[in-house]
């Protein structure tokens, strides 16, 4: 699926004022140009920074902000106050601005030029207090933003900007995301459901229904030649169980799964959808539940949620965008079964079929088995175990009055062989340990489904929650149940009052 950071831009504006004369602004402009060029030439940023000049008045600032809102390539704005930029000038522009904001607190010169510094230098290089003035007005306006502090040539500064840029890209992608549901939310299941109107207002994406009957003709129209070509690709990428190989009795199910993959991809392309959900109870006209197709499409960037879980489908897509080009892979996963083993107590993560082969440790194997739930039928699937490593599991739940994001850092460990359970899986220990990690997740009301990633960081999810302006509960090495419960109580009050404060 087409997605390129190269098609996006982050704009950079430098705050100044005309009090110190035109020469000062010319110098500010030259420094800013050099700094933006330095950021772009560093090779550390996934999205191009475009310098939009100095901002010296309320009118200029408003004009740049309105232009940024209207430019689809622009996914965010970096602001930096080279001189003192009186912040009342920023009120109208910031109130109008609708995109992610990063306030960079840096300085053109690295060290104080002790021997030569005079008052002209002081008047020009004022970010030490100019950025505080700007910080006040963004706080006064309750404007969500990321504050990055660091020298503009430092790699650690670039890393923080790069993290935020990835999230900006995912945010822009979500504002133009259509999620297709084949079938409704699983009957009676609460946690995966939610307010789709609020989701579009708050998180940007649009959730639509598609009857499975609309997909069936797409699958039926796939030609034998197309299936042959895709089977050849499977043979290059995966091992086949003996009874699934060409000529063997179950090979027909693999061919049917290949037709589903091609038909489903075509359907989603026609609908302009980036994510989808399936239902094992709505499969009339289908040979099997589209589990194998879901595995394959997830690997190319489509968001996926099982049993109508559109919130997870959208989050899987957004996390794919954030992690694009990074090592490790990501997947839809479900808390399956517990393994009590003292300090190594862990949760087996799996699903009936739909795990992204990008997280596989070794070459996945195609197997075909009957799946005795709903109308799932005899289903092809890719079987593998996830590689070990550190990752994060994330979910968004609808608390009625707000969305709550929950993120748990986890350590994926090696599972034992599961010869009688033909599914892909991962085994993880949640941080800070099984007892507190699982306890906090449950206390927060977290789903049994999650979007998991080896490649994206907690900081990205924090940036995401900041941009979306939603609640974020973090479960990591520092978490204790006592403090976590207090965070939840504090948040209840904060979000109740939040609207009144704005």
Contact set with Mn ion (CB under 5 A)? 306, 334
Nearer to Mn ion, 85 or 447 (CB): 447
Nearer to Mn ion, 306 or 382 (CB): 306
CB 344 within 8 A of CB 413: yes
| DSSP H or E stretch at residue 208 | strand 206-209
Q: How far is the CB of 275 from Mn ion (least distance, A)?
A: 16
CB 49 within 8 A of CB 55: no
Cis peptide before 432 (omega within 30 of 0): yes
Phi-psi region of 262 (alpha: psi -120 to 50; beta: other; left: phi over 0): alpha
Q: How far is the CB of 208 from Mn ion (least distance, A)?
A: 21
For residues 442 and 188, give the distance between their C-alpha atoms in angstroms, rounded to a whole number.
19
DSSP-assigned letter for residue 469: T
Q: How far is the CB of 305 from Mn ion (least distance, A)?
A: 9
Beta bridge partners of residue 425, listed in sequence order: 350, 385
Nearer to Mn ion, 298 or 306 (CB): 306
Name the residue with the smallest CB distance to Mn ion. 306
Q: How far is the CB of 366 from Mn ion (least distance, A)?
A: 22
In the numeric block, the tokens 């994510």 are attached to 275
For residues 464 and 466, give the distance between their C-alpha atoms in angstroms, rounded to a whole number.
5
CB 308 within 8 A of CB 185: yes
Q: How far is the CB of 372 from Mn ion (least distance, A)?
A: 15
Q: How far is the CB of 192 from Mn ion (least distance, A)?
A: 8
CB 354 within 8 A of CB 298: yes
Nearer to Mn ion, 283 or 472 (CB): 283
Q: How far is the CB of 451 from Mn ion (least distance, A)?
A: 13
CB 79 within 8 A of CB 11: no
Q: How far is the CB of 449 from Mn ion (least distance, A)?
A: 6
CB 179 within 8 A of CB 303: yes
Q: How far is the CB of 127 from Mn ion (least distance, A)?
A: 50
Question: For the chain, what is the radius of gyration of the CA atoms?
Answer: 25
Beta bridge partners of residue 13, listed in sequence order: 79
Nearer to Mn ion, 254 or 352 (CB): 352
CB 36 within 8 A of CB 14: no
Q: How far is the CB of 371 from Mn ion (least distance, A)?
A: 13
Q: How far is the CB of 307 from Mn ion (least distance, A)?
A: 5
Name the E strands within 313-376. 330-339, 346-350, 365-371
Nearer to Mn ion, 221 or 442 (CB): 442
CB 135 within 8 A of CB 147: yes
Furthest-apart CA atoms within the chain: distance in Å: 86
Q: How far is the CB of 309 from Mn ion (least distance, A)?
A: 7
Nearer to Mn ion, 9 or 334 (CB): 334
Nearer to Mn ion, 203 or 355 (CB): 355
DSSP structure string for 188-205: T--TT---HHHHHHHT--
Strands laid side by side in the 303-305 sheet:
206-209, 178-181, 275-277, 303-305
Classify burial at 159, counting beta carbons within 10 Å of its beta carbon; exposed 0-12, middle 13-18, buried 19 or more: middle
Nearer to Mn ion, 82 or 351 (CB): 351
Query: Which of 317, 263, 331 lies closest to 293 in space, CA to CA?
Result: 263
Nearer to Mn ion, 306 or 410 (CB): 306
Nearer to Mn ion, 261 or 307 (CB): 307
For residues 330 and 460, give the distance between their C-alpha atoms in angstroms, rounded to a whole number.
14
User: What are the C-alpha distances in Å from 18 to residues 58, 87, 123, 130?
Assistant: 12, 14, 11, 14
Nearer to Mn ion, 183 or 389 (CB): 183
């Amino acid at each position: 699926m087409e997605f390129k950071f190269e098609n996006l831009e982050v704009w950079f504006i430098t705050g100044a004022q005309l009090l110190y004369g035109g020469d000062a602004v010319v110098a500010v402009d030259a420094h800013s140009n050099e700094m933006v060029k330095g950021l772009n030439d560093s090779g550390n940023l996934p999205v191009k920074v475009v310098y939009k000049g100095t901002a010296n008045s309320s009118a200029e600032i408003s004009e740049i902000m309105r232009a940024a809102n209207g430019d689809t390539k622009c996914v965010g704005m970096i602001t930096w106050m080279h001189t003192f930029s009186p912040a009342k000038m920023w009120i109208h522009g910031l109130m109008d601005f609708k995109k992610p904001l990063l306030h960079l607190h840096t300085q053109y010169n690295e060290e104080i030029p002790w021997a030569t510094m005079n008052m002209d230098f002081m008047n020009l290089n004022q970010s030490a207090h100019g950025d505080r003035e700007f910080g006040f007005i963004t706080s006064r306006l309750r404007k969500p933003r990321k504050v990055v502090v660091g020298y503009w040539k430092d790699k650690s500064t670039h890393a923080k900007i790069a993290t935020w840029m990835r999230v900006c890209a995912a945010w822009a992608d979500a504002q133009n995301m259509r999620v297709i549901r084949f079938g409704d939310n699983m009957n009676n299941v609460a946690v995966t459901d939610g307010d789709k109107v609020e989701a579009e207002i708050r998180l940007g994406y649009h959730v639509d229904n598609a009857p499975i009957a609309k997909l069936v003709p797409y699958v039926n129209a796939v030609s034998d030649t197309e299936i042959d070509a895709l089977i050849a690709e499977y043979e290059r990428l995966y091992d086949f169980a003996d009874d699934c190989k060409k000529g063997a009795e179950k090979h027909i199910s693999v061919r049917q799964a290949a037709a589903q993959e091609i038909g489903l991809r075509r359907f989603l392309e026609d609908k302009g959808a980036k994510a989808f959900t399936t239902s094992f109870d709505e499969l009339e006209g289908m040979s099997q539940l589209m589990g194998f197709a879901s595995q394959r499409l997830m690997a190319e960037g489509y968001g996926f949620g099982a049993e109508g879980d559109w919130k997870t489908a959208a989050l899987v897509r957004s996390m794919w965008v954030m992690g694009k080009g990074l090592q490790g892979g990501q997947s839809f996963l479900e808390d399956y079964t517990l393994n009590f083993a003292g300090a190594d107590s862990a949760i087996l993560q799996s699903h009936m079929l739909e795990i992204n082969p990008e997280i596989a440790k070794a070459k996945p194997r195609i197997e075909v088995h009957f799946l005795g739930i709903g109308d799932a039928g005899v289903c092809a699937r890719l079987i593998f175990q996830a590689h070990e490593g550190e990752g994060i599991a994330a979910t968004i739940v609808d608390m009625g009055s707000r969305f709550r994001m929950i993120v748990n850092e986890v350590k994926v460990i090696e599972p034992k062989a599961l010869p009688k359970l033909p599914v892909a899986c991962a085994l993880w220990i949640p941080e800070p340990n099984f007892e507190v990690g699982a306890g906090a997740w449950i206390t927060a009301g977290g789903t049994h489904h999650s979007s998991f990633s080896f490649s994206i960081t907690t900081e990205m999810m924090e940036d995401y929650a900041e941009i979306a302006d939603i609640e974020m509960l973090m479960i990591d090495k520092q978490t204790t149940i006592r403090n976590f419960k207090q965070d939840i109580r504090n948040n209840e009050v904060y979000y109740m009052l939040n609207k009144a404060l704005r």
